[in-house]
Structure 1
Protein backbone atom coordinates (compact mmCIF):
# COMPACT_ATOMS: atom_id res chain seq x y z
CA UNK A 1 0.00 0.00 0.00
CA UNK A 2 1.28 3.49 -0.85
CA UNK A 3 2.43 5.88 1.87
CA UNK A 4 -0.52 8.23 2.31
CA UNK A 5 1.58 10.85 4.12
CA UNK A 6 4.20 11.38 1.38
CA UNK A 7 3.94 12.97 -2.04
CA UNK A 8 4.50 10.61 -4.94
CA UNK A 9 4.09 12.61 -8.14
CA UNK A 10 3.73 16.00 -9.79
CA UNK A 11 1.55 16.30 -12.88
CA UNK A 12 2.28 19.39 -14.97
CA UNK A 13 0.53 21.30 -17.66
CA UNK A 14 2.68 22.07 -20.71
CA UNK A 15 2.38 25.53 -22.37
CA UNK A 16 2.74 28.41 -19.93
CA UNK A 17 3.81 26.06 -17.14
CA UNK A 18 6.88 24.16 -18.37
CA UNK A 19 7.60 25.84 -21.72
CA UNK A 20 6.26 28.65 -23.94
CA UNK A 21 6.47 31.53 -21.46
CA UNK A 22 3.19 33.43 -21.67
CA UNK A 23 1.44 30.56 -23.48
CA UNK A 24 1.80 32.42 -26.75
CA UNK A 25 1.55 29.57 -29.28
CA UNK A 26 -2.14 28.70 -28.78
CA UNK A 27 -3.21 32.33 -28.38
CA UNK A 28 -1.83 33.29 -31.78
CA UNK A 29 -3.32 30.21 -33.44
CA UNK A 30 -6.82 31.03 -32.14
CA UNK A 31 -6.62 34.61 -33.40
CA UNK A 32 -5.42 33.46 -36.83
CA UNK A 33 -8.07 30.74 -37.10
CA UNK A 34 -10.97 33.11 -36.46
CA UNK A 35 -9.42 35.72 -38.75
CA UNK A 36 -9.33 33.14 -41.55
CA UNK A 37 -13.14 33.07 -41.29
CA UNK A 38 -13.38 36.86 -41.40
CA UNK A 39 -14.05 37.35 -37.68
CA UNK A 40 -11.58 39.25 -35.53
CA UNK A 41 -11.18 38.23 -31.90
CA UNK A 42 -9.17 39.97 -29.21
CA UNK A 43 -6.23 38.46 -27.35
CA UNK A 44 -8.44 38.50 -24.25
CA UNK A 45 -11.09 36.50 -26.15
CA UNK A 46 -8.45 33.98 -27.23
CA UNK A 47 -6.98 33.60 -23.75
CA UNK A 48 -10.20 33.44 -21.74
CA UNK A 49 -10.91 29.67 -21.88
CA UNK A 50 -7.23 28.65 -22.15
CA UNK A 51 -6.51 25.24 -20.70
CA UNK A 52 -9.69 23.64 -21.98
CA UNK A 53 -9.71 21.09 -24.80
CA UNK A 54 -9.28 23.09 -27.98
CA UNK A 55 -12.70 22.25 -29.47
CA UNK A 56 -14.31 23.34 -26.19
CA UNK A 57 -12.10 26.44 -26.24
CA UNK A 58 -13.28 27.35 -29.75
CA UNK A 59 -16.89 26.83 -28.65
CA UNK A 60 -16.43 29.17 -25.66
CA UNK A 61 -14.77 31.87 -27.77
CA UNK A 62 -17.45 31.65 -30.47
CA UNK A 63 -20.20 31.95 -27.86
CA UNK A 64 -18.72 35.07 -26.24
CA UNK A 65 -21.25 37.87 -26.86
CA UNK A 66 -19.05 40.11 -29.01
CA UNK A 67 -17.66 37.23 -31.07
CA UNK A 68 -21.10 35.63 -31.50
CA UNK A 69 -22.50 38.96 -32.71
CA UNK A 70 -19.65 39.39 -35.20
CA UNK A 71 -20.13 35.84 -36.46
CA UNK A 72 -23.87 36.29 -36.97
CA UNK A 73 -23.30 39.61 -38.73
CA UNK A 74 -20.77 37.96 -41.04
CA UNK A 75 -22.71 34.78 -41.83
CA UNK A 76 -26.33 35.66 -41.07
CA UNK A 77 -26.74 32.79 -38.61
CA UNK A 78 -25.67 31.92 -35.06
CA UNK A 79 -22.30 30.31 -34.35
CA UNK A 80 -22.87 26.53 -34.28
CA UNK A 81 -21.34 23.08 -34.15
CA UNK A 82 -20.46 22.98 -37.85
CA UNK A 83 -18.55 26.24 -37.37
CA UNK A 84 -16.65 24.70 -34.46
CA UNK A 85 -15.67 21.79 -36.70
CA UNK A 86 -14.47 24.12 -39.45
CA UNK A 87 -12.53 26.36 -37.06
CA UNK A 88 -10.91 23.39 -35.34
CA UNK A 89 -9.77 22.04 -38.71
CA UNK A 90 -8.11 25.41 -39.38
CA UNK A 91 -6.78 25.88 -35.84
CA UNK A 92 -4.96 22.58 -35.29
CA UNK A 93 -2.36 22.92 -38.07
CA UNK A 94 -1.79 26.55 -37.08
CA UNK A 95 -1.07 25.45 -33.51
CA UNK A 96 1.15 22.59 -34.70
CA UNK A 97 3.22 25.13 -36.64
CA UNK A 98 3.30 27.70 -33.84
CA UNK A 99 4.60 25.33 -31.14
CA UNK A 100 7.82 25.00 -33.10
CA UNK A 101 8.45 28.69 -32.49
CA UNK A 102 7.41 28.62 -28.82
CA UNK A 103 9.15 25.55 -27.42
CA UNK A 104 11.69 27.24 -25.15
CA UNK A 105 11.59 26.13 -21.53
CA UNK A 106 10.46 28.59 -18.89
CA UNK A 107 13.53 29.69 -16.89
CA UNK A 108 14.19 27.23 -14.09
CA UNK A 109 11.89 24.51 -15.45
CA UNK A 110 14.52 21.85 -16.10
CA UNK A 111 16.28 22.60 -12.82
CA UNK A 112 12.99 22.22 -10.96
CA UNK A 113 12.23 18.90 -12.67
CA UNK A 114 15.68 17.63 -11.66
CA UNK A 115 15.08 18.66 -8.03
CA UNK A 116 11.70 16.92 -7.95
CA UNK A 117 13.16 13.71 -9.36
CA UNK A 118 15.96 13.88 -6.82
CA UNK A 119 13.25 13.88 -4.13
CA UNK A 120 11.88 10.68 -5.62
CA UNK A 121 8.84 12.33 -7.19
CA UNK A 122 7.51 11.02 -10.47
CA UNK A 123 6.54 13.35 -13.31
CA UNK A 124 3.43 13.24 -15.49
CA UNK A 125 1.50 15.74 -17.58
CA UNK A 126 -1.92 16.69 -18.89
CA UNK A 127 -2.62 19.27 -21.56
CA UNK A 128 -5.37 21.05 -23.42
CA UNK A 129 -3.37 20.38 -26.59
CA UNK A 130 -4.52 17.60 -28.90
CA UNK A 131 -2.39 14.55 -29.66
CA UNK A 132 -1.27 15.86 -33.12
CA UNK A 133 -0.04 19.08 -31.51
CA UNK A 134 1.83 17.16 -28.81
CA UNK A 135 3.37 14.84 -31.41
CA UNK A 136 5.11 17.96 -32.70
CA UNK A 137 5.99 19.39 -29.29
CA UNK A 138 7.06 16.34 -27.26
CA UNK A 139 10.11 15.46 -29.40
CA UNK A 140 11.29 19.07 -29.17
CA UNK A 141 11.05 18.93 -25.37
CA UNK A 142 12.62 15.46 -25.19
CA UNK A 143 15.62 16.61 -27.20
CA UNK A 144 16.23 19.23 -24.50
CA UNK A 145 15.77 16.88 -21.57
CA UNK A 146 12.09 16.81 -20.63
CA UNK A 147 10.13 13.56 -20.96
CA UNK A 148 7.23 13.04 -18.54
CA UNK A 149 6.24 9.43 -17.88
CA UNK A 150 2.87 10.12 -19.47
CA UNK A 151 1.15 13.01 -21.23
CA UNK A 152 -2.63 12.86 -21.44
CA UNK A 153 -4.01 15.05 -24.23
CA UNK A 154 -7.33 16.73 -24.90
CA UNK A 155 -9.34 14.29 -26.97
CA UNK A 156 -7.74 11.18 -25.46
CA UNK A 157 -10.74 10.74 -23.14
CA UNK A 158 -14.47 11.43 -23.16
CA UNK A 159 -14.05 14.82 -21.44
CA UNK A 160 -11.22 17.28 -20.93
CA UNK A 161 -10.66 20.00 -18.37
CA UNK A 162 -12.04 20.92 -15.92
CA UNK A 163 -13.21 17.31 -15.56
CA UNK A 164 -10.84 15.07 -13.56
CA UNK A 165 -10.61 12.35 -16.21
CA UNK A 166 -7.18 13.25 -17.62
CA UNK A 167 -5.71 13.44 -14.12
CA UNK A 168 -7.25 10.15 -13.08
CA UNK A 169 -6.05 8.50 -16.29
CA UNK A 170 -2.50 9.75 -15.73
CA UNK A 171 -2.53 8.54 -12.12
CA UNK A 172 -3.95 5.16 -13.14
CA UNK A 173 -1.33 4.69 -15.87
CA UNK A 174 1.42 5.65 -13.40
CA UNK A 175 -0.07 3.38 -10.72
CA UNK A 176 -0.23 6.23 -8.21
CA UNK A 177 -2.85 6.73 -5.51
CA UNK A 178 -4.38 8.18 -3.38
CA UNK A 179 -5.01 11.53 -5.09
CA UNK A 180 -3.77 13.57 -2.14
CA UNK A 181 -0.24 12.28 -2.79
CA UNK A 182 -0.23 14.05 -6.16
CA UNK A 183 0.32 17.73 -7.04
CA UNK A 184 -1.15 19.36 -10.17
CA UNK A 185 0.71 22.44 -11.49
CA UNK A 186 -1.01 24.64 -14.09
CA UNK A 187 -1.19 28.20 -15.40
CA UNK A 188 -4.88 28.02 -16.38
CA UNK A 189 -8.09 28.05 -14.37
CA UNK A 190 -9.52 24.93 -16.09
CA UNK A 191 -6.23 23.19 -15.29
CA UNK A 192 -6.55 24.10 -11.63
CA UNK A 193 -10.16 22.94 -11.83
CA UNK A 194 -9.13 19.48 -13.06
CA UNK A 195 -6.76 19.09 -10.12
CA UNK A 196 -9.43 20.17 -7.64
CA UNK A 197 -11.96 17.79 -9.22
CA UNK A 198 -9.42 14.94 -9.13
CA UNK A 199 -8.71 15.48 -5.43
CA UNK A 200 -5.04 16.42 -5.81
CA UNK A 201 -3.09 19.35 -4.45
CA UNK A 202 -3.05 22.25 -6.92
CA UNK A 203 -0.38 24.87 -7.54
CA UNK A 204 -1.33 27.81 -9.75
CA UNK A 205 1.25 29.61 -11.88
CA UNK A 206 0.78 33.32 -12.59
CA UNK A 207 3.55 35.39 -14.16
CA UNK A 208 4.92 32.80 -16.60
CA UNK A 209 1.57 31.72 -17.96
CA UNK A 210 -1.59 32.50 -19.85
CA UNK A 211 -3.07 34.90 -17.31
CA UNK A 212 -0.28 37.46 -17.82
CA UNK A 213 0.73 36.39 -21.32
CA UNK A 214 4.17 37.98 -21.55
CA UNK A 215 7.37 36.48 -22.89
CA UNK A 216 10.22 35.94 -20.45
CA UNK A 217 12.03 38.94 -21.90
CA UNK A 218 8.97 41.20 -21.64
CA UNK A 219 8.36 40.17 -18.04
CA UNK A 220 12.00 40.63 -17.04
CA UNK A 221 11.96 44.17 -18.44
CA UNK A 222 9.13 45.26 -16.12
CA UNK A 223 9.76 47.00 -12.79
CA UNK A 224 8.65 45.07 -9.72
CA UNK A 225 5.67 47.37 -9.17
CA UNK A 226 4.29 46.46 -12.60
CA UNK A 227 4.90 42.75 -12.01
CA UNK A 228 2.99 43.06 -8.74
CA UNK A 229 0.11 44.79 -10.55
CA UNK A 230 -0.08 41.92 -13.05
CA UNK A 231 0.36 39.23 -10.40
CA UNK A 232 -2.45 40.34 -8.08
CA UNK A 233 -5.53 39.57 -10.21
CA UNK A 234 -4.01 36.34 -11.55
CA UNK A 235 -3.24 35.17 -8.03
CA UNK A 236 -6.72 36.05 -6.81
CA UNK A 237 -8.31 34.15 -9.70
CA UNK A 238 -6.15 31.08 -9.03
CA UNK A 239 -7.12 30.99 -5.36
CA UNK A 240 -10.77 31.51 -6.27
CA UNK A 241 -10.51 28.50 -8.60
CA UNK A 242 -9.31 26.39 -5.68
CA UNK A 243 -5.50 26.51 -5.90
CA UNK A 244 -3.78 25.47 -2.67
CA UNK A 245 -0.67 27.54 -3.43
CA UNK A 246 0.07 30.13 -6.10
CA UNK A 247 3.57 30.84 -7.44
CA UNK A 248 5.08 33.10 -10.10
CA UNK A 249 6.62 30.33 -12.19
CA UNK A 250 7.75 26.72 -12.11
CA UNK A 251 11.10 27.94 -10.79
CA UNK A 252 9.33 28.60 -7.48
CA UNK A 253 7.79 25.12 -7.26
CA UNK A 254 10.37 23.43 -4.97
CA UNK A 255 9.36 25.75 -2.12
CA UNK A 256 5.68 25.01 -2.75
CA UNK A 257 6.42 21.27 -2.69
CA UNK A 258 8.10 21.67 0.69
CA UNK A 259 5.00 23.42 2.04
CA UNK A 260 2.65 20.78 0.67
CA UNK A 261 4.81 17.95 1.99
CA UNK A 262 4.77 19.50 5.46
CA UNK A 263 0.99 19.94 5.31
CA UNK A 264 0.52 16.35 4.18
CA UNK A 265 2.68 14.99 6.99
CA UNK A 266 0.62 17.08 9.43
CA UNK A 267 -2.49 15.24 8.27
CA UNK A 268 -3.88 18.02 6.07
CA UNK A 269 -5.47 17.38 2.69
CA UNK A 270 -5.97 19.44 -0.50
CA UNK A 271 -8.28 22.40 -0.04
CA UNK A 272 -7.65 22.76 3.69
CA UNK A 273 -7.22 26.53 3.36
Structure 2
Protein backbone atom coordinates (compact mmCIF):
# COMPACT_ATOMS: atom_id res chain seq x y z
CA UNK A 1 0.00 0.00 0.00
CA UNK A 2 1.31 3.42 -1.00
CA UNK A 3 1.88 5.66 2.02
CA UNK A 4 4.14 8.32 0.51
CA UNK A 5 3.74 11.05 -2.09
CA UNK A 6 5.88 10.22 -5.11
CA UNK A 7 5.57 13.39 -7.20
CA UNK A 8 4.29 16.95 -6.96
CA UNK A 9 3.36 18.72 -10.20
CA UNK A 10 3.46 22.50 -10.00
CA UNK A 11 2.01 25.20 -12.18
CA UNK A 12 4.46 28.02 -12.95
CA UNK A 13 3.20 31.64 -12.79
CA UNK A 14 1.54 32.44 -9.48
CA UNK A 15 2.56 29.09 -8.02
CA UNK A 16 6.36 28.84 -8.02
CA UNK A 17 7.39 32.04 -9.85
CA UNK A 18 5.82 35.42 -10.63
CA UNK A 19 3.95 36.34 -7.45
CA UNK A 20 0.45 37.47 -8.45
CA UNK A 21 0.75 35.95 -11.94
CA UNK A 22 1.42 39.27 -13.64
CA UNK A 23 3.47 38.12 -16.65
CA UNK A 24 0.52 36.75 -18.65
CA UNK A 25 -2.21 39.11 -17.43
CA UNK A 26 -0.49 42.43 -18.11
CA UNK A 27 0.54 41.26 -21.58
CA UNK A 28 -3.02 40.19 -22.44
CA UNK A 29 -4.10 43.76 -21.70
CA UNK A 30 -1.28 45.11 -23.86
CA UNK A 31 -2.02 42.74 -26.76
CA UNK A 32 -5.70 43.72 -26.97
CA UNK A 33 -4.69 47.38 -26.90
CA UNK A 34 -1.94 47.10 -29.51
CA UNK A 35 -3.85 45.01 -32.05
CA UNK A 36 -7.34 46.53 -31.81
CA UNK A 37 -7.02 49.63 -29.61
CA UNK A 38 -9.45 47.80 -27.32
CA UNK A 39 -9.29 48.08 -23.55
CA UNK A 40 -9.71 45.18 -21.16
CA UNK A 41 -9.06 45.42 -17.43
CA UNK A 42 -6.50 43.39 -15.54
CA UNK A 43 -9.40 41.75 -13.70
CA UNK A 44 -11.01 40.69 -16.99
CA UNK A 45 -7.68 39.34 -18.22
CA UNK A 46 -7.44 37.21 -15.08
CA UNK A 47 -10.83 35.47 -15.35
CA UNK A 48 -9.85 32.50 -17.57
CA UNK A 49 -6.31 32.13 -16.18
CA UNK A 50 -4.91 28.61 -16.43
CA UNK A 51 -6.14 27.90 -19.95
CA UNK A 52 -3.89 27.78 -22.97
CA UNK A 53 -3.24 31.31 -24.20
CA UNK A 54 -5.26 31.13 -27.45
CA UNK A 55 -8.18 29.68 -25.48
CA UNK A 56 -7.62 32.35 -22.84
CA UNK A 57 -8.06 35.15 -25.39
CA UNK A 58 -11.18 33.44 -26.71
CA UNK A 59 -12.59 33.19 -23.19
CA UNK A 60 -11.86 36.84 -22.41
CA UNK A 61 -13.66 37.85 -25.59
CA UNK A 62 -16.67 35.78 -24.54
CA UNK A 63 -17.05 37.51 -21.17
CA UNK A 64 -20.41 39.34 -21.34
CA UNK A 65 -18.95 42.73 -20.45
CA UNK A 66 -16.10 42.38 -22.94
CA UNK A 67 -18.37 41.00 -25.67
CA UNK A 68 -20.76 43.92 -25.22
CA UNK A 69 -17.97 46.50 -25.57
CA UNK A 70 -16.50 44.60 -28.54
CA UNK A 71 -19.85 44.58 -30.33
CA UNK A 72 -20.26 48.30 -29.67
CA UNK A 73 -16.81 49.00 -31.11
CA UNK A 74 -16.78 46.53 -34.01
CA UNK A 75 -20.41 45.64 -34.71
CA UNK A 76 -20.11 41.93 -33.97
CA UNK A 77 -18.69 39.50 -31.43
CA UNK A 78 -15.03 38.54 -31.56
CA UNK A 79 -14.25 36.19 -34.45
CA UNK A 80 -11.61 33.49 -34.80
CA UNK A 81 -9.45 35.75 -36.94
CA UNK A 82 -9.56 38.39 -34.19
CA UNK A 83 -8.35 35.83 -31.65
CA UNK A 84 -5.59 34.79 -34.04
CA UNK A 85 -4.41 38.38 -34.49
CA UNK A 86 -4.38 39.11 -30.75
CA UNK A 87 -2.56 35.85 -30.10
CA UNK A 88 0.05 36.71 -32.73
CA UNK A 89 0.61 40.04 -30.99
CA UNK A 90 0.59 38.45 -27.54
CA UNK A 91 3.16 35.73 -28.24
CA UNK A 92 6.30 37.79 -29.03
CA UNK A 93 5.48 40.12 -26.14
CA UNK A 94 5.18 37.15 -23.79
CA UNK A 95 8.38 35.54 -25.05
CA UNK A 96 10.23 38.84 -24.64
CA UNK A 97 9.00 39.61 -21.14
CA UNK A 98 8.38 36.30 -19.36
CA UNK A 99 11.94 36.02 -18.05
CA UNK A 100 11.42 39.34 -16.25
CA UNK A 101 8.86 37.54 -14.07
CA UNK A 102 10.97 34.56 -13.00
CA UNK A 103 11.55 35.51 -9.36
CA UNK A 104 10.64 32.66 -7.05
CA UNK A 105 7.69 33.04 -4.73
CA UNK A 106 8.95 33.23 -1.11
CA UNK A 107 9.41 29.78 0.34
CA UNK A 108 9.36 28.02 -3.05
CA UNK A 109 13.01 26.95 -3.11
CA UNK A 110 13.01 25.74 0.48
CA UNK A 111 9.81 23.75 0.02
CA UNK A 112 10.92 22.15 -3.25
CA UNK A 113 14.35 21.31 -1.83
CA UNK A 114 12.57 19.71 1.12
CA UNK A 115 10.38 17.61 -1.18
CA UNK A 116 13.45 16.37 -3.04
CA UNK A 117 15.11 15.43 0.25
CA UNK A 118 12.10 13.17 0.85
CA UNK A 119 12.61 11.53 -2.55
CA UNK A 120 9.61 13.29 -4.12
CA UNK A 121 9.94 14.08 -7.83
CA UNK A 122 9.12 17.58 -9.10
CA UNK A 123 6.97 17.93 -12.21
CA UNK A 124 5.44 20.98 -13.82
CA UNK A 125 3.00 22.12 -16.47
CA UNK A 126 1.61 25.43 -17.64
CA UNK A 127 -0.79 27.37 -19.80
CA UNK A 128 2.29 28.81 -21.53
CA UNK A 129 3.19 27.39 -24.95
CA UNK A 130 6.61 25.80 -25.41
CA UNK A 131 8.20 28.88 -26.98
CA UNK A 132 7.42 30.86 -23.80
CA UNK A 133 8.28 28.07 -21.37
CA UNK A 134 11.69 27.67 -23.03
CA UNK A 135 12.44 31.28 -22.06
CA UNK A 136 11.15 30.87 -18.51
CA UNK A 137 12.95 27.61 -17.65
CA UNK A 138 16.54 28.99 -17.79
CA UNK A 139 15.49 32.21 -16.09
CA UNK A 140 13.94 30.24 -13.22
CA UNK A 141 16.98 27.95 -13.05
CA UNK A 142 19.15 31.01 -12.49
CA UNK A 143 16.89 31.84 -9.54
CA UNK A 144 17.23 28.34 -8.06
CA UNK A 145 14.28 26.38 -9.51
CA UNK A 146 14.62 23.58 -12.03
CA UNK A 147 11.83 20.96 -12.10
CA UNK A 148 12.51 17.40 -13.15
CA UNK A 149 9.92 17.71 -15.92
CA UNK A 150 8.23 20.64 -17.67
CA UNK A 151 5.30 20.20 -20.08
CA UNK A 152 3.87 23.12 -22.08
CA UNK A 153 0.27 23.49 -23.17
CA UNK A 154 1.07 22.88 -26.85
CA UNK A 155 3.46 19.95 -26.33
CA UNK A 156 0.71 17.35 -26.70
CA UNK A 157 -1.76 16.81 -29.54
CA UNK A 158 -4.42 15.94 -26.97
CA UNK A 159 -4.42 19.54 -25.69
CA UNK A 160 -4.03 21.40 -22.42
CA UNK A 161 -6.14 22.26 -19.40
CA UNK A 162 -8.61 21.38 -18.05
CA UNK A 163 -7.85 17.98 -19.61
CA UNK A 164 -5.33 15.87 -17.65
CA UNK A 165 -2.85 15.09 -20.39
CA UNK A 166 0.01 17.38 -19.33
CA UNK A 167 -0.05 15.83 -15.86
CA UNK A 168 -0.16 12.31 -17.26
CA UNK A 169 2.81 13.17 -19.48
CA UNK A 170 4.61 14.31 -16.33
CA UNK A 171 3.95 10.88 -14.81
CA UNK A 172 5.36 9.16 -17.88
CA UNK A 173 8.51 11.29 -17.97
CA UNK A 174 9.05 10.99 -14.21
CA UNK A 175 8.31 7.23 -14.25
CA UNK A 176 5.72 7.58 -11.49
CA UNK A 177 3.34 4.63 -11.51
CA UNK A 178 0.50 5.68 -9.15
CA UNK A 179 -1.78 8.64 -9.73
CA UNK A 180 -2.96 8.56 -6.10
CA UNK A 181 0.62 9.28 -5.03
CA UNK A 182 0.73 12.51 -7.06
CA UNK A 183 -0.22 16.07 -6.05
CA UNK A 184 -1.11 18.99 -8.33
CA UNK A 185 -0.48 22.52 -7.01
CA UNK A 186 -1.98 25.47 -8.89
CA UNK A 187 -3.31 29.00 -8.46
CA UNK A 188 -6.14 28.68 -11.01
CA UNK A 189 -9.40 26.76 -11.22
CA UNK A 190 -8.58 25.17 -14.61
CA UNK A 191 -5.34 23.91 -13.07
CA UNK A 192 -7.24 22.35 -10.17
CA UNK A 193 -9.74 20.78 -12.59
CA UNK A 194 -6.79 19.39 -14.54
CA UNK A 195 -5.51 17.71 -11.38
CA UNK A 196 -8.91 16.29 -10.50
CA UNK A 197 -9.35 14.97 -14.03
CA UNK A 198 -6.00 13.21 -13.66
CA UNK A 199 -7.12 11.64 -10.37
CA UNK A 200 -4.52 13.46 -8.26
CA UNK A 201 -4.65 15.28 -4.94
CA UNK A 202 -5.10 18.99 -5.64
CA UNK A 203 -3.89 22.07 -3.77
CA UNK A 204 -5.16 25.55 -4.62
CA UNK A 205 -3.11 28.64 -3.77
CA UNK A 206 -5.09 31.61 -2.49
CA UNK A 207 -2.73 34.54 -2.06
CA UNK A 208 0.28 34.10 -4.36
CA UNK A 209 -1.55 33.75 -7.62
CA UNK A 210 -4.13 34.88 -10.06
CA UNK A 211 -7.25 34.96 -7.88
CA UNK A 212 -5.97 37.38 -5.24
CA UNK A 213 -3.90 39.35 -7.74
CA UNK A 214 -1.56 40.77 -5.11
CA UNK A 215 1.99 41.81 -5.84
CA UNK A 216 4.64 40.34 -3.57
CA UNK A 217 5.18 43.77 -2.03
CA UNK A 218 1.46 44.14 -1.30
CA UNK A 219 1.39 40.67 0.25
CA UNK A 220 4.42 41.29 2.44
CA UNK A 221 3.18 44.67 3.70
CA UNK A 222 -0.54 43.90 4.03
CA UNK A 223 -2.25 43.87 7.40
CA UNK A 224 -4.32 40.85 8.40
CA UNK A 225 -7.60 42.47 7.38
CA UNK A 226 -6.30 43.04 3.84
CA UNK A 227 -5.02 39.48 3.60
CA UNK A 228 -8.28 38.13 4.96
CA UNK A 229 -10.25 40.01 2.29
CA UNK A 230 -7.94 38.74 -0.46
CA UNK A 231 -8.22 35.23 0.95
CA UNK A 232 -12.02 35.36 0.88
CA UNK A 233 -11.98 36.65 -2.71
CA UNK A 234 -9.81 33.72 -3.79
CA UNK A 235 -11.79 31.21 -1.73
CA UNK A 236 -14.94 32.36 -3.53
CA UNK A 237 -13.25 31.70 -6.88
CA UNK A 238 -12.19 28.22 -5.75
CA UNK A 239 -15.48 27.45 -3.97
CA UNK A 240 -16.73 24.98 -6.56
CA UNK A 241 -13.33 23.86 -7.85
CA UNK A 242 -13.24 20.64 -5.84
CA UNK A 243 -9.72 21.33 -4.59
CA UNK A 244 -8.72 18.99 -1.76
CA UNK A 245 -6.75 21.75 0.00
CA UNK A 246 -6.59 25.55 -0.11
CA UNK A 247 -3.51 27.28 1.30
CA UNK A 248 -2.07 30.78 1.06
CA UNK A 249 1.18 30.10 -0.81
CA UNK A 250 3.61 27.32 -1.65
CA UNK A 251 5.33 28.00 1.69
CA UNK A 252 2.40 26.25 3.40
CA UNK A 253 2.68 23.07 1.30
CA UNK A 254 4.75 20.85 3.67
CA UNK A 255 1.85 20.50 6.10
CA UNK A 256 -0.44 19.48 3.25
CA UNK A 257 2.00 16.83 2.03
CA UNK A 258 2.19 15.41 5.56
CA UNK A 259 -1.60 15.26 5.75
CA UNK A 260 -1.89 13.59 2.34
CA UNK A 261 0.64 10.95 3.39
CA UNK A 262 -1.37 10.27 6.55
CA UNK A 263 -4.50 9.87 4.44
CA UNK A 264 -2.67 7.52 2.08
CA UNK A 265 -1.56 5.47 5.10
CA UNK A 266 -5.22 5.31 6.15
CA UNK A 267 -6.11 3.86 2.77
CA UNK A 268 -7.63 7.03 1.30
CA UNK A 269 -7.17 8.12 -2.27
CA UNK A 270 -8.07 11.37 -4.11
**Which TM-score tier does this pair reach, normalised by the shorter chain?**
over 0.9
Residue 217 of structure 1 is matched in structure 2 by 217
CA contact (8 A) 2:102 2:143 kept: no
Residue 50 of structure 2 is matched in structure 1 by 51
CA contact (8 A) 1:103 1:137 kept: yes
Residues 162-189 of structure 1: per-residue CA shift (max 9 Å, x gap): 1111111111121112211000000000
Tell which deviates more after alignment, 247-256 or 156-165.
Answer: 156-165
Residue 26 of structure 1 is matched in structure 2 by 24
User: CA RMSD of the aligned region, Å?
Assistant: 1.2
CA contact (8 A) 2:245 2:256 kept: yes
Residue 168 of structure 1 is matched in structure 2 by 168
Residues 14-68 of structure 1: per-residue CA shift (max 9 Å, x gap): 0000010000111100000111111111111100000110011000001112212
Residue 187 of structure 2 is matched in structure 1 by 187
Residue 202 of structure 1 is matched in structure 2 by 202
Q: How does 1:1-273 map to 2 (within 5 A)?
A: 4-36=2-34, 37-157=36-156, 158-270=158-270
CA contact (8 A) 1:39 1:67 kept: no
Aligned partners of 2:234, 2:32: CA distance in 1, in Å?
Answer: 26
Q: TM-score, normalised by structure 2?
A: 0.96
CA contact (8 A) 1:239 1:245 kept: no
Is the partner of 2:69 in helix, strand or coil? helix
The number of residue pairs the alignment matches comes to: 268
Residues 134-184 of structure 1: per-residue CA shift (max 9 Å, x gap): 111100111222111111111112221111111111111211122110000
Is the partner of 2:125 in helix, strand or coil? strand
Residues 178-227 of structure 1: per-residue CA shift (max 9 Å, x gap): 21100000000000010000000001101011111111111111110110
Q: TM-score, normalised by structure 1?
A: 0.95
Aligned partners of 2:78, 2:239: CA distance in 1, in Å?
Answer: 33
